[in-house]
Structure 1
Amino acid sequence: MKALMFGWEFPPHILGGLGTASYGLTKGMHNNGDMDITFVIPKPWGDEERGFANIIGAGNTPVAWRDVSWDYVNTRIGKVMDPQTYFNLRDHIYADFNYMRLNDLGCIEFSGKYPSNLVEEINNYSIVAGVIARTVPCDVIHSHDWLTYPAGIHAKNVTGKPLVIHVHASEFDRSRGKPNPTVFAIEKDGMNNADHIITVSNLTRNTVIEKYGIDPAKVTTVHNAVIPLSDELLNLKRTTSKDKVITFLGRITMQKGPEYFVEAAAKVLNKNRNVRFVMAGGGDMEEAMIRLAAKHGIADRFHFTGFLRGKEVYQMFRDSDVYVMPSVSEPFGISPLEAMEMGVPSIISKQSGCAEILDNVIKTDYWDVDAMADAMHSIITNKALYNTLRDRGIEEIHNITWEKAGKKVIDIYKKVIDARK
Structure 2
Amino acid sequence: MFGWEFPPHITGGLGTACFGMTKGLLKNGVEVLFVVPKAYGDESQEAVRLINASDVSIDIRKTEELEFWKNITYLEVNSSLVPYVGPEAFDNLMESAEKVTTLSEDSIFNARYTFSGKYGENLLEEVARYALVGAQIARDSQFDVIHSHDWLTYAAGIAAKQATGKPLVVHMHATEFDRSGENVNQRVYDIERSGMEAADRVITVSNLTRNIVIDRYGIDPAKVITVHNAVEPTEQIDFSQVEKHVPEKVVTFLGRVTFQKGPEYFIEAAYKVLQRDPNVRFVMAGTGDLLEKMIRRVAQLRISTRFHFTGFLRGENVDRMFAMSDVYVMPSVSEPFGISPLEAMRSNVPVVISKQSGVAEVLQHALKVDFWDIDAMADAIYGLLQYKSLPRMFSKYGAQEVNSLKWENAATHIKRVYEQVC
Same fold, TM-score > 0.5, yes or no: yes
Question: CA 1:233/1:309 → structure 2, altered by over 3 Å: closer, same or farther?
Answer: farther
Partner of 1:256: 261
* Secondary structure in 1 matching 2:237: helix
1:305 aligns with 2:310: yes
1:26 is aligned, of 1, 18, 22, to 22
Q: Is 2:341–2:353's contact at 8 Å kept on the other side of the alignment?
A: yes
Question: C-alpha separation between the residues in 2 aligned to 1:26 and 1:93?
Answer: 34
Separation of aligned partners in 2, 1:306 and 1:93: 47
Deviations 1:246-295 (A, max 9, x none): 00000000110000000000000001111000000000000100111111
1:55-74 residue pairs with structure 2 within 5 A?
A: 55-64=50-59
User: Which one-letter code corresponds to 2:340 in the other structure?
Assistant: S
Q: Is the contact made by 1:149 and 1:187 (CA closer than 8 Å) also made in structure 2?
A: yes
Contact 1:199 1:222 in 2 (8 A): yes
The Cα offsets for residues 369-389 of structure 1, whole Å up to 9 and x where unpaired, read as 000000001001111001001
Moved over 2 A (4+): 92-103, 233-241
Partner deviation per Cα, 1:181-200 (whole Å, 9 max, x = no partner): 00000001001100000000
SS at 1:44 equivalent: coil
Cα distance in 2 for partners of 1:369, 1:346 equals: 15
Shift of 1:60: 1.1
Q: Distance in 2 between matches of 1:198 and 1:124?
A: 25
- Structure 2 CA distance for partners of 1:236 and 1:327, relative to 1, 3 Å: farther
Q: Structure 1: which 5+ runs fail to align?
A: 66-91
Aligned to 1:142: 147
Contact 2:33 2:51 in 1 (8 A): yes
Look up the match of 1:107. Answer: 112
Asked if the contact 1:63/1:93 (under 8 Å) is kept, the reply is: no
Question: Equivalents in 1 of 2:107, 2:150: separation in Å?
Answer: 26
- RMSD of Structure 2 on Structure 1 (CA): 2.0
Structure 1 position 63, deviation (Å)? 1.8
Equivalent residues of 2:334, 2:356 under 8 A apart = yes
* Structure 1 residue 94, shift from structure 2 partner: 5.9
Provide TM-score, normalisation by structure 2. Answer: 0.88
The one-letter amino acid of 1:32's match is N
Q: Deviations over 1:339-377 (max 9, x none)?
A: 000111000000000000001000000000000000001
Which moved further from structure 2: 198-207 or 302-311? 302-311
Matches of 2:284 and 2:353, distance apart in 1: 15
| Aligned partner (choices 341, 346, 351) of residue 336 of structure 1 | 341
Give 1:49's match in structure 2, choosing from 37, 44, 52.
44
Instruction: Establish whether residue 133 from structure 1 lines up as the match of residue 142 from structure 2.
Output: no
The one-letter code of the counterpart of 1:322 is V
Gaps of 5+ in 2: 70-103
Q: Is the 8 A contact 2:108 2:129 kept in 1?
A: no
1:206-252 C-alpha deviation (Å, 9 max, x unpaired): 00000000111110000000010101266562434210000000000
TM-score (norm 1): 0.89
**Amino acid in the other structure paired with 1:16:** G
> Which amino acid is the alignment partner of residue 21 of structure 1?
A
Count matched residues.
386
Alignment of 1:159-308 (within 5 A): 159-232=164-237, 237-308=242-313
Give the C-alpha shift of residue 101 in structure 1: 4.3
AA partner of residue 268 (structure 1): V
Report the secondary structure of 2:413's partner residue. helix
Return the alpha-carbon distance in structure 2 between the equivalents of residues 7 and 162 of structure 1: 17
